[in-house]
Amino acid sequence: MTTLLRSPVAHTTAGGRVFNFSAGPGVLPEEVLQEIQQDVWDLRSSGIGILEHTHRGVVFDQVIAEAIEDCRRLGGVPDDHEVLFLPGGATLHFAMVPMNFLPADGVADYVDTGMWAHKAMREAAKVGAVHCAFDGTKNHYTRIPADSEIQQSAKAAYLHYCSNNTIFGTRFDAPPATSAPLVVDMSSEAFARPHDIARHAMMYAGAQKNLGPAGIVLAIIRKDFLERACQNLPVMLSYVEHAKGGSRLNTPNTFGIYVMGRVFKWIERQGGLTAMERLNAAKARIVYDAIDVSGGFYRGHAQPECRSHMNIPFRLPTPELDERFVREAEASGMANLKGHRDAGGVRASIYNAFPVEGCRLLASFMGEFASRHG
């Protein structure tokens, strides 16, 4: 039998683990991971672990009710929005959004600010008519458009945007101005700062970055928007049916819902979304400063005014140095810094649960690496 042993590294998290810069599945709070270990064995003194509890029993009733309540309180979700836990990962919702909300005679506007936004638009085009309201490929996804640059259709069924560009590291400061119903893919920054949910007809987010494990999606949908949804879809593809079934249309990802609930509670303990935003901004600043003081040795992809606080992609002078940087960082206890396979370079993903110490370690490593190779 082979065992994967990690060589001892000089720097670790408070819990003795490596600093994980993965873009997703990403780092979860160590406190939550410890609670999970206990609850896998025995949840709420029921004598049964979370993985084994029926989704129709009283214990899981409490788990899901609490997760919804905590999500509402923490996220400032208005009463006229449904909170749903759905299957499929965000990619399924690239197709479900138009299947539910794009009528045969309608058009949906898409703001293309990155690879995920682009994929969402391509999926929608298989379902109905889409209009690319802003084409970010022309600026290599380095920036977010001003409202005046978004060419909206006269009567769009909805306008879709992706609030944080995981691959190229840009983000919308505020939702685009529109009179169309707003739909947002918030996968890589859900609950990393306060969100104006009331302005959105729908938000959805794959959980695996800020909220929990992969394979489950948090969706928040305004009830009057839901009323417009196509009524004639297979049940698993219908938001209306999922809402009617209370996110338990079939056997849901009970573990994912449970973990999200624990993460909501952890975020509240950190001071809520305003505190989270402050902390995330401070963490991002540490890494961006290391880029900015390097005299051009490190080049960030995003234009400075559009910089993401979650994902920081950058390049060194050559692809060989990119590779060497990632390798040496790994040996110092910093894992998963390789850029996205389609973007190359280096990418530091520093989600909610990523410790500030890891950002400091990265910044000091960047300074030291640049002085050796600059």
Ligand X SMILES: Cc1ncc(COP(=O)(O)O)c(C=O)c1O
Residue 152 touches ligand X, criterion: CB under 6 A: no
Residues 192-251 that bind ligand X (CB under 6 A): 206
CB of 74 to ligand X, least distance (A): 21
* DSSP, residue by residue, 300-368: ESS-GGGB-SSEEEEE-SSHHHHHHHHHHHHHTTEE--BPPTTT-SEEEE--TTS-HHHHHHHHHHHHH
Q: How far is CA 68 from CA 244, 250, 339, in A?
A: 15, 18, 34
Q: Please give the Cα distance from 373 to 135 (Å, whole number).
A: 37
CB of 42 to ligand X, least distance (A): 30
Residue 22 touches ligand X, criterion: CB under 6 A: no
Where do the H-state alpha helices sit in the chain? 30-41, 58-75, 89-101, 115-125, 223-226, 239-244, 254-269, 272-292, 319-331, 356-373
How is residue 302 written in tokens?
């995003």
Residue 266 bears catalytic tag: no
Task: Give the binding range for ligand X (CB under 6 A) out of 29-37, 85-93, 195-203, 235-243.
Answer: 85-93
Exposure string of 109-132, with b = 16+ CB inside 10 Å and e = fewer, is bbbbbbbbbbbbbebbeebbbbeb
Size of the site for ligand X (CB under 6 A): 11
Contact string 153-182 vs ligand X (x = CB under 6 A): ---------x---x----------------
Give 294 or 311: the residue with its C-beta nearer to ligand X: 311
CB of 90 to ligand X, least distance (A): 4
**Which residue from 20, 170, 178, 188 is in contact with ligand X, where contact means CB under 6 A?**
188
Give 100 or 208: the residue with its C-beta nearer to ligand X: 208
Residue 351 touches ligand X, criterion: CB under 6 A: no
Q: Which positions lie near ligand X, rule CB under 6 A?
A: 24, 89-91, 116, 162, 166, 185, 187-188, 206
Q: Which are the catalytic amino acids?
A: 116, 185, 209
